[in-house]
Amino acid sequence: MENGGGGGDVPKDANEHCPGTQSGDAGKAEACAGCPNQQICATAPKGPDPDLVAIVERMATVKHKILVLSGKGGVGKSTFSAQLSFALAEMDLQVGLLDIDICGPSIPKMLGLEGQDIHQSNLGWSPVYVESNLGVMSIGFMLPDPDDAVIWRGPRKNGLIKQFLKDVDWGEIDYLVVDAPPGTSDEHISIVQYLQATGIDGAIIVTTPQQVSLIDVRKEISFCKKVGVPILGVVENMSGLRQPLSDLRFVKPSEAGETDATEWALNYIREKAPELLSLVACSEVFDSSKGGAEKMCDQMKVPFLGKVPMDPQLCKAAEEGRSCFDDQKCSASAPALKSIVKKLIKTD
């Protein structure tokens, strides 16, 4: 028996007699009970959106649109979005970075743009520029105090996302990187709905190696498949700690506490085994004994883009709002990030 009551698109895994995702009864009808899509359908905007035409026109000057997602917070998604944008800009491409993490906008900090304001012209809102070919837009630029909490319900968040897409004048750019909040909330449904009409390249999903993170990433992958967003690949971030031996700090523990032994240890190594100073110390921070993101990608039939190690120098670059590619300090993470960017460019 066929699904649907003529109310709009019907997901493949929908219940019998599904009213359609665009119906006013979507997620609320009796037939929706127990459907895996019920919550998404119930909260998604319904019917034709009059602003969609304006969004399509604005996005017509953007060649590629990439979503950066994560199932769980704290996995380094925004750090990845920032460094991906830096890397694309370094390739002489025109790049825009849109931060739709409404409640936790960290992109201004990670690009060294704290305290900047948004300016308006007759063409719309102007992005804040890091370089002439890297523009940024974030709610972080609108807060009078960076410590202010954004306590908004879904409709207001969705309204701002729509305004970002409709009113920001990016100009002719090659890539728009969209840094989304973790999870699968209203913001994700809105950005997907608006961008699908303009042509979206797909999503990059960022995770850490342990099962606690991968459990939620599986949900993110499921979300993308249900709403029809192509998955460009999964990045395993914080994939083991890698740090030059010379950058390590050494302590000597005792019953009274611990004392710093860094200077003694490094002097000892220089005297007795100086060749060790060229080595990189590696350590597994998170449990990856079950195969990590790479095995999960194989099981779920999605591309695996690569691993980025936990690099204290990368953390420092993010704190200082600069690119990790500007110098040789991020020797552990920068090559891994560049390899992932090359795969993405090749995919596009």
> Would you list which residues are annotated within the binding site?
18, 32, 35, 41, 71-78
Cβ proximity of 300 and 222 under 8 Å? no
Q: Nearest 5°: phi and psi at 221?
A: -65, -45
Binding residues for ATP: 71-78
Encoding tokens for residue 241?
């700690």
Binding residues for [4Fe-4S] cluster: 18, 32, 35, 41
Give just the sign of the alpha carbon dihedral 286, 290, 293, 294.
positive
Cβ proximity of 290 and 303 under 8 Å? no
Q: Identify residue 326 by its one-letter amino acid code.
A: D
Alpha-carbon gap, residue 318 to 302, rounded angstroms: 29
Cβ proximity of 100 and 180 under 8 Å? yes
Q: Nearest 5°: phi and psi at 142?
A: -100, -10
Distance of CA 92 to the CA centre of its chain: 22
**CA-to-CA dists, residue 256 to 252, 253, 262, angstroms:** 11, 8, 18
Three-class secondary structure assignment of 13-25 = CCCCCCCCCCCCC
CB atoms closer than 10 angstroms to residue 249 = 10
CB atoms closer than 10 angstroms to residue 259 = 11
Parallel, antiparallel or unpaired: strands 119-121 and 124-126: antiparallel
